[in-house]
Structure 1
Amino acid sequence: MTTSDFTLNATTTMPAVGFGTYLITNDQTPEAVKAAIETGYRHIDTAQGYQNEEGVGKGVRAGIEAKGLRREDIFVTTKLWPGNPAWGQEPADGPATLAAFENSLETLGFDYVDLYLIHAPYGGAHRIAEWEALLELKAQGRARAAGVSNFNSDHLDEIEAAGLPMPDANQVELHPWSQKTDLIGKMRALGIQPIAYSSLAPLSTWRSAPGQDSAKSDEMKVGGVDAPFQVMAQKYGVSEAQLLLRWGVQNGYAVLPKSLNATRMAQNLDLFSFEIDADDMATMLEMDRGLSIAWATGDPSEVD
């Protein structure tokens, strides 16, 4: 069976199933994160750009108290927003990266995080300086692991060319429609752990609420395209969401499901009571469309 955690570095492991908090408001987040911890989640994912770090910190503390846990029992990820010049934002340099980390720690109410990521490769000429700042934080033990998000092969080559250690992880969009086989192969060769976001993007219900934009076409939103997942899920006696999340962890990716529904929250954590057989894994491999659809304005990994 698939492992329930993944190794990031010599001292840090990460639970394979995390609770994602993107699009959960700061007001909703404390109760949502507390409920997730009470349900059994021990991995919580947030970001500076989500504008809910304060709520995540409150929820983690409330969950720890409710379950009699310690801070070290909960794996917490947050991310640097590096600034996007296309949106009129100044890219973060090294000092700005360190300042943003300090702000995130203060907002969370923690004295360290388990994983700190560069959210997207928007830094341009500052990307290496941002990465050097993360390595400094890791060396200090204030970030137990350091990584990136939405980086493609060229961005990883840039780090290698600078003679710097590779990221512990790269969080990217991964699901049967967007499998990124070349990038995953490169990451495996470099010892970089994949973390999947938007695992449920193939489902018609994914980001269906107003304001939850994506690059998903109208054709992708109709229920009929989900029929193969419906059939497979029925075969294993699980939900379609469980099937897609299991596909991720069975491929060796950490996954970050999000739900405010208690039943679905528990289902999304239950990924180790079944295994997708080889035939179905082969069928899902053939579904790759090479698409990244989570970002309405385009794939951030395509940034030069």
Structure 2
Amino acid sequence: MAAMLTRELTSGVQIPLVGFGTYLIPDDEAAAAVENALVTGYRHIDTAEFYNNERGVGEGLRRGLQQAGIERGDVFVTTKLWPQTHDRNKSTQETVRSLDESLNRLGVDQVDLYLIHATFGREQRLQQWQGLADAYNSGKARAIGVSNFNASHIDELIAAGLPLPHANQIELHPWSQKPGLVAYLNQKGITPIAYSSLAPLSTWRTAPGHASGKTRQMRAEGEQADSPFKRLAEKYGVSEAQFLLGWGLQNGYPVLPKSTKPERIRQNFDIDSFQIDSADMEYIRGLDRGAGLAWGEVDPVTHD
């Protein structure tokens, strides 16, 4: 079952490969979605301070634990630090306070993974990473990591004598495969976690504010009847979403599909029943378009 597939972080914590993402799920809808996900079998829930839905996620966690008959320790919970407050960067102490506030909203004593959500300035990154290290040492986070960091950002942490992240959550899908960054992360023992796994789909991020020129072009291509992912999904007898998530799974990336629709939640969880053959994996490698769609045009392999 998908729920049983895990990858071990260098902290020794097992992260389930199939997670439930909550970006763009409003706080008042998050509880029902998370509860449904846990009852379906998900054991990995991803949220963030920036998503403004931690209270709903926490309520869904409590309800889902009861409905699924499981314990808090059975569920891997991730949240993320937003690096700024009132247009200024958070200090080390403010970083620790932000985690305390997230824990309060979630209604838990610790999270399984705490991430710095984004990069702003070098000194801010170093101060905030020290705050995450303090949170890890105090037991408030079982593992710590970053998101949207490139190799040079992580090299800064190393040069400052700070511990390596356990994970880096980045945009990863067949159109943005980042082979250089993924190789760097694997060499350092940092687990790449994939977000925006479904970006090649024409329905990806249709919410207001996400219609860039690249996403409009992508949607037009995705709607074509002979699009490569439609053809490949048909070959393997799965939906396009299942195929794209399965590609991430086969690469060893934890994936974070998001939906509020019960049937889609179930379908996105059922992604370990097929194996993409080596010829098709090689074909997909040739579809890489470099920089991602969700987080600007910067290639995360390069320096800022």
TM-score computed with the length of structure 1 as normaliser? 0.94
Q: Deviation digits for residues 228-268 of structure 1, max 9, x if unmatched?
A: 10111011110000111111111111000001121221111
Residues 214 and 65 (structure 1 numbering): CA distance in 2 closer, same or farther, change over 3 Å?
farther
Q: Does the alignment pair 1:195 with 2:180?
A: no
| Length, aligned pairs only | 300
Distance 1:77 1:68 in 2: 21
* Structure-1 residue corresponding to 2:131: 133
Distance 1:237 1:74 in 2: 30
* Structure-2 residue corresponding to 1:288: 288
Q: 1:10 Cα shift?
A: 4.3
* Structure-2 residue corresponding to 1:236: 236
Unaligned runs of 5+ in 1: none
1:147 to 145, 148, 152: 145
For the Cα contact (< 8 Å) 1:202–1:226, is it kept in 2? no
Unaligned runs of 5+ in 2: none
Report the 3-state secondary structure (helix = DSSP H, G, I; strand = E; otherwise coil) of the residue aligned with 1:6.
strand
TM-score computed with the length of structure 2 as normaliser? 0.94
1:112 to 102, 110, 113: 110
Distance 2:67 2:121 in 1: 40
Distance 2:287 2:207 in 1: 25
For the Cα contact (< 8 Å) 2:196–2:294, is it kept in 1? yes
Q: 1:212 Cα shift?
A: 4.0
For the Cα contact (< 8 Å) 1:174–1:197, is it kept in 2? yes
For the Cα contact (< 8 Å) 1:83–1:91, is it kept in 2? yes
Report the 3-state secondary structure (helix = DSSP H, G, I; strand = E; otherwise coil) of the residue aligned with 1:255.
coil
For the Cα contact (< 8 Å) 1:121–1:300, is it kept in 2? no
Q: Deviation digits for residues 2-57 of structure 1, max 9, x if unmatched?
A: 98101113431110010000000000000000000011100000000000000000
The one-letter code sitting in structure 2 at the alignment partner of 1:105 is: L
Distance 2:213 2:167 in 1: 25
Report the 3-state secondary structure (helix = DSSP H, G, I; strand = E; otherwise coil) of the residue aligned with 1:195.
strand
Report the 3-state secondary structure (helix = DSSP H, G, I; strand = E; otherwise coil) of the residue aligned with 1:170.
strand
Residues 214 and 171 (structure 1 numbering): CA distance in 2 closer, same or farther, change over 3 Å?
farther
* Structure-2 residue corresponding to 1:266: 266
Greater shift, 25-34 or 208-217, is seen at: 208-217
Residues 271 and 284 (structure 1 numbering): CA distance in 2 closer, same or farther, change over 3 Å?
same
The one-letter code sitting in structure 1 at the alignment partner of 2:114 is: Y
Q: 1:299 Cα shift?
A: 4.5
* Structure-2 residue corresponding to 1:62: 63
Distance 1:58 1:25 in 2: 13
Give percent identity, aligned residues only. Answer: 52
Distance 1:224 1:271 in 2: 24
Residues 299 and 46 (structure 1 numbering): CA distance in 2 closer, same or farther, change over 3 Å?
farther
Report the 3-state secondary structure (helix = DSSP H, G, I; strand = E; otherwise coil) of the residue aligned with 1:117.
strand
Q: 1:216 Cα shift?
A: 2.9
Cα RMSD (Å) of the superposition? 2.0
Residues 264 and 185 (structure 1 numbering): CA distance in 2 closer, same or farther, change over 3 Å?
same
Q: Deviation digits for residues 99-135 of structure 1, max 9, x if unmatched?
A: 1111111111111000000001124312111111111
Q: Does the alignment pair 1:158 with 2:156?
A: yes
For 1:1-304, what aligned pairs fall within 5 Å after superposition?
4-83=5-84, 89-214=87-212, 216-222=214-220, 223-224=223-224, 227-295=227-295, 298-299=297-298, 301=300, 304=304
